[in-house]
């Protein structure tokens, strides 16, 4: 029987969309700016929360699992981080910054981490909320 689902399950157990389906869905979403805005905000907050929840494990015996969770979601994390920066969401950035720092530090991916944090600093310079202290 032919597979009829638009979702595929990878060997890792994760679900994904075929790239053509993903592009089509993104195009349709772009036709509805208000819905796109809400969707991107929910995506960013979901991944900021997921990454923030890894912080304790990154500093304990759960480190290997936390590193794997972040590794699996690094592209979603980058996308979420970019949205948070673009929308100057200092609270969410602050919540997940420590986990992101530890991930890049532990994995010795210093240049990538520096780049992400420089983006945040540039976007939030002059922010008067006092939340820029990472």
The DSSP line for 63-126 is HHHHHHHHHHTHHHHHHHHHHHHHTT-HHHHHHHHHHHHHHHHHTT-HHHHHHHHHHHHHHHTT
Query: Cβ(44)–Cβ(38) under 8 Å?
Result: no
Per-residue pLDDT tens, the chain, 134 aa: give them: 456 777 888 888 888 888 899 899 999 999 999 999 999 999 999 999 999 999 999 999 999 999 999 999 999 999 999 999 999 999 999 999 999 999 999 999 999 999 999 999 998 887 665 454 33
Task: Write down the domain spans for the chain.
Answer: 20-124
- Of 91, 116, 113, 97, the residue nearest 58 (C-alpha): 97
Query: Cβ(64)–Cβ(55) under 8 Å?
Result: no
């Amino acid at each position: 029987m032919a597979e009829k689902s638009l979702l595929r399950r990878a060997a890792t157990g994760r679900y994904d969309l075929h790239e053509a389906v993903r592009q089509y869905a993104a195009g349709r979403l772009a036709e509805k700016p208000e819905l796109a805005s809400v969707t991107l905000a929910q995506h960013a907050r979901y991944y900021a929360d997921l990454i923030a929840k890894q912080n304790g494990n990154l500093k304990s015996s759960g480190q290997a699992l936390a590193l794997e969770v972040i590794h699996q979601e690094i592209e979603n994390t980058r996308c979420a981080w970019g949205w948070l920066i673009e929308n100057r969401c200092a609270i969410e950035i602050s919540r997940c910054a420590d986990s992101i720092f530890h991930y890049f530090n532990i994995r010795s991916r210093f240049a990538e981490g520096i780049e992400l944090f420089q983006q945040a600093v540039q976007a939030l310079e002059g922010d008067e909320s006092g939340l820029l202290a990472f």
